[in-house]
C-alpha cells in the first residue's frame, strides 16, 4: 500500500498554525527545527557508532533532548531534586546521565522468550527496574548509552523494538490484551496492528509529525479508546458484517478532549490504509507553530468531524467510506482481572502488580510460573496490569497461587485493581510530586482501613498536569502540584478531579472528572483524603450505584 502523499498546497497565508499543507513551514519552534535539521530516526546510527563509545558527555544536546526519544530514550531525573525546582532549573541541571528506555509492545502481547529477554535486560542493564505503563509498554530505568547497541541487539533478536516508542511519531498501537482468544470477540484486529507496525513504524514518511500520535485498535471496548488520536472499535454493520468504527481527536494533558466518531465503518483489510490517511492529515494539516496546540485533537475540534471525514476521503483515500453504526459499549471499563474462559475453552488470568511496578526478577519468575502452567505467553493491559493466556482449566488455581507468590494478585482488592500511577518524580524530569511509592502506600492503607469493597473506585495518580496516568478519567483523579501545607509552606500535593469515566454504556456519556478549585490535598494527607472520599461515597450511594 502506498503512503498517502502530501496534497497540493493552497496559497500561502501570512500567518498560520504551522500547517505544512497550507505552506506554513517557517518560522520553526525549537522542536520543529530539531526535526527539520535531521530526521530523528537517523540518531540510531550516531548512538551505535559514536555515543555508545564516547559516553554521555559525547552526546549532541539536540540529539540528547530531542531525537533520542524516537528510539525510546529519555534522560531520567537526577535524584534528590524536589518538585519545587522542576520549573526553574535548566534541562541539563535536571537530568541524570542515565536514561529511561521504553520498549513498545504493540497489541500488548509478549511471548515467554520476549518476556525473558526484557527481564534479562532489566537485571543486567537497568538495576532490576521495570514498569508496565498504561499504554502497554514496558519502561526500564538506569540505562546507559554505552549499553544501547547490545540492548537493541537482544530486543530485536526476539522481535521487540524501541523504535518510535516516544517522540513526534506513531507511538505503540494499543490492542486488546485478549485479542484472538476472547469469547465475545467477533473479529481479531491483530493483522491490522501488525501491518501498521511493519509498514509505518520507523518509516520516514511518518517520523516527523506535529506531535505524538496515539492509536488503538480493538474489537472489544477494553481500552481507553476515547482519548487516543485514532481508535478503531469493533462494530457489526447490518449489511456488511463485522468491521471497525473510527474515532479521532481524543487526548488528555492540559486541554482534554474526547475522541469523536466519524460515523464510518471500516473493514479489517482497510484499517491500515485508513490509519495511514488519518496520520497523513495530521502530518500535513496538524498545527506545528505552538507545541501545546500540536495534537490532532485541536485540528479535529476546529474542523469538525464532517470536514475531517471529507478531507480524509477526498484528499487521502480517493474514495468514500461506508456509513457505519455506533458500537455497543459496555457499562463499565473492562480490565480482564481475574479468571476468564477463552473461546477455545482454556482460560486467561488477569493479575495486578501494584501501580504497574514490577522488576526484572519478577518478570523472570513470571516467565517460569507461566511456563510451568502450560501457557506460552502473557499480555499487558492499558491499566498497568498483565494477563496470562491459554491456561488449561486444571492449572488455573495453581497458577493463581503461583502468581500470588511472586507479588501478582489475580484476586486483588478494588484498591489494588483500580489504582494507577505515572512515573513521577523518581525518574521524570517534568514531575512535581512522587507517585509510584505513594500509590503503593495508598493501596496498602486503603486495604488496611477499608478492606475490599463491592464498588469500583478508580484512582489515577499523576505527578504533574501532563496526565500520563489519565488524571481526568478516574473516579478520583490526582494531578500533582505544589500546595500550601499546614505550616503555610509549599509542599507536594494534588489537585483532585472527581467523577471521571471512560467506556460508559450507551445512554450515558463518557466524561472528564470535575476539577473544583478547593479540592486539593497535600501528598502526606492523601491516604486520609481518599479514605474520606471513599467512605462518603460508600455511605451515600444509592441502590445499584
For ligand SF4, how many residues bind (rule: CB under 6 A)? 12
For the window 460-499, what string marks contact with ligand SF4 as x by the rule CB under 6 A? --xxx-xxx-------------------------------
Q: Among 154-162, 419-427, 447-455, 504-512, which window interacts with ligand SF4 (CB under 6 A)?
A: 419-427
Of residues 297 and 429, the one with the C-beta less far from ligand SF4: 429
Query: CB under 8 Å to 416, separation ≥6 — which residues?
Result: 352, 354, 409, 443, 447
As measured in angstroms, the least distance from the Cβ of 437 to ligand SF4 is 13
**Beta partners for 129?**
359
Query: CB under 8 Å to 6, separation ≥6 — which residues?
Result: 20, 21, 280, 283, 284
| Helix, coil or strand: residue 463 | coil
Tell me which residue of 106, 98, 105, 104 sits closest to 126, measured CA to CA. 98
Alpha-carbon distance 109 to 160, whole Å?
11
Of residues 284 and 492, the one with the C-beta less far from ligand SF4: 492
C-alpha cell at 148: 544501547
As measured in angstroms, the least distance from the Cβ of 472 to ligand SF4 is 12
Residue number of the CB atom closest to ligand SF4: 463
As measured in angstroms, the least distance from the Cβ of 28 to ligand SF4 is 24
Question: Footprint of ligand SF4 on residues 420-459 (CB under 6 A)?
Answer: 422-424, 428, 430-431
Exposure string (b/e) for 400-410, b if CB count within 10 Å is 16 or more? bebbeebbbbb
As measured in angstroms, the least distance from the Cβ of 77 to ligand SF4 is 9
Of residues 257 and 428, the one with the C-beta less far from ligand SF4: 428
Judge whether 243 and 268 are in contact, CB under 8 Å. Answer: yes
| Helix, coil or strand: residue 173 | strand
Of residues 64 and 422, the one with the C-beta less far from ligand SF4: 422
| Helix, coil or strand: residue 503 | coil
Question: What H or E segment, with its residue span, contains residue 336?
Answer: none
Question: Footprint of ligand SF4 on residues 265-304 (CB under 6 A)?
Answer: none
As measured in angstroms, the least distance from the Cβ of 424 to ligand SF4 is 5
Judge whether 189 and 219 are in contact, CB under 8 Å. Answer: yes
Of residues 370 and 420, the one with the C-beta less far from ligand SF4: 420
Place of cell 474489537: 219
Question: What H or E segment, with its residue span, contains residue 500?
Answer: none
Of residues 255 and 398, the one with the C-beta less far from ligand SF4: 255
Of residues 19 and 471, the one with the C-beta less far from ligand SF4: 471
Of residues 14 and 88, the one with the C-beta less far from ligand SF4: 88
Q: Per rule CB under 6 A, is residue 311 in the interface with ligand SF4?
A: no
As measured in angstroms, the least distance from the Cβ of 312 to ligand SF4 is 31
Question: What H or E segment, with its residue span, contains residue 511?
Answer: none
Which residues here bind ligand SF4, judged by CB under 6 A?
Answer: 422-424, 428, 430-431, 462-464, 466-468
Amino acid at each position: 500500500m502506498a503512503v498517502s502523499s502530501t496534497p497540493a498546497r493552497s496559497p500561502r497565508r501570512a500567518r498560520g498554525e504551522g500547517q505544512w499543507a497550507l505552506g506554513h513551514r517557517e518560522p520553526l519552534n525549537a522542536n520543529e527545527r530539531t526535526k527539520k535539521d535531521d530526521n530523528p530516526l537517523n540518531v540510531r546510527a550516531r548512538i551505535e557508532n559514536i555515543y555508545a563509545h564516547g559516553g554521555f558527555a559525547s552526546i549532541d544536546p539536540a540529539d540528547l533532548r530531542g531525537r533520542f526519544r524516537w528510539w525510546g530514550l529519555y534522560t531520567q531525573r537526577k535524584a534528590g531534586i524536589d518538585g519545587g525546582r522542576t520549573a526553574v532549573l535548566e534541562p541539563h541541571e535536571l537530568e541524570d546521565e542515565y536514561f529511561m528506555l521504553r520498549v513498545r509492545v504493540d497489541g500488548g502481547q509478549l511471548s515467554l522468550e520476549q518476556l525473558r529477554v526484557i527481564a534479562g535486560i532489566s537485571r543486567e542493564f537497568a538495576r532490576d527496574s521495570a514498569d508496565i505503563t498504561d499504554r502497554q509498554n514496558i519502561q526500564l530505568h538506569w540505562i546507559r548509552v554505552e549499553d544501547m547497541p547490545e540492548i537493541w541487539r537482544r530486543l530485536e533478536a526476539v522481535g521487540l523494538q524501541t523504535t518510535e516508542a516516544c517522540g513526534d511519531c506513531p507511538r505503540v498501537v494499543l490492542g486488546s490484551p485478549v485479542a484472538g482468544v476472547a469469547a465475545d470477540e467477533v473479529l481479531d484486529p491483530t493483522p491490522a496492528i501488525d501491518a501498521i507496525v511493519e509498514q509505518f513504524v520507523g518509516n520516514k514518511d511518518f517520523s516527523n509529525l506535529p506531535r505524538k500520535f496515539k492509536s488503538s485498535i480493538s474489537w472489544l471496548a477494553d481500552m481507553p479508546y476515547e482519548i487516543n488520536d485514532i481508535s478503531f472499535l469493533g462494530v457489526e454493520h447490518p449489511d456488511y458484517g463485522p468491521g471497525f468504527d473510527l474515532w479521532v481527536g481524543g487526548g488528555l494533558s492540559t486541554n482534554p478532549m474526547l475522541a469523536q466518531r466519524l460515523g464510518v465503518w471500516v473493514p479489517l483489510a482497510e484499517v491500515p490504509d485508513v490509519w495511514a490517511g488519518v496520520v497523513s492529515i495530521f502530518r500535513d494539516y496538524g498545527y506545528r507553530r505552538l507545541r501545546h496546540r500540536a495534537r490532532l485533537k485541536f485540528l479535529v475540534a476546529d474542523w469538525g468531524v464532517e470536514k475531517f471525514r471529507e478531507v480524509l476521503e477526498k484528499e487521502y483515500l480517493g474514495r468514500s467510506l461506508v456509513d457505519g453504526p455506533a458500537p455497543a459499549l459496555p457499562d463499565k471499563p473492562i480490565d480482564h482481572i481475574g479468571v476468564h474462559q477463552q473461546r477455545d475453552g482454556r482460560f486467561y488470568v488477569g493479575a495486578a502488580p501494584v501501580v504497574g511496578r514490577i522488576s526484572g526478577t519478577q518478570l523472570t519468575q513470571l516467565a517460569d510460573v507461566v511456563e510451568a502452567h502450560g501457557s506460552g505467553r502473557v499480555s499487558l493491559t492499558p491499566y498497568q496490569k498483565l494477563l496470562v493466556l491459554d491456561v488449561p482449566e486444571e492449572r488455573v488455581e495453581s497458577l493463581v497461587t503461583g502468581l500470588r507468590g511472586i507479588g501478582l494478585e489475580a484476586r486483588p482488592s478494588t484498591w489494588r485493581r483500580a489504582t494507577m500511577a505515572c512515573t513521577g518524580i523518581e525518574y521524570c524530569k517534568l514531575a512535581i510530586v512522587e507517585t509510584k511509592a505513594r500509590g503503593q502506600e495508598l493501596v496498602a492503607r486503603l486495604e488496611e482501613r477499608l478492606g475490599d469493597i463491592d464498588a469500583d473506585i478508580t484512582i489515577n495518580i499523576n505527578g504533574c498536569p501532563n496526565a500520563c496516568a489519565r488524571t481526568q478519567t478516574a473516579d478520583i483523579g490526582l494531578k500533582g502540584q505544589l500546595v500550601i501545607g499546614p505550616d503555610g509552606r509549599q509542599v507536594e500535593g494534588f489537585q483532585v478531579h472527581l467523577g471521571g469515566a471512560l467506556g460508559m454504556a450507551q445512554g450515558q456519556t463518557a466524561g472528564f472528572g470535575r476539577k473544583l478549585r478547593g479540592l486539593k490535598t497535600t501528598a502526606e494527607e492523601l491516604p486520609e483524603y481518599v479514605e474520606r472520599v471513599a467512605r462518603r461515597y460508600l455511605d451515600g450511594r444509592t441502590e445499584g450505584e
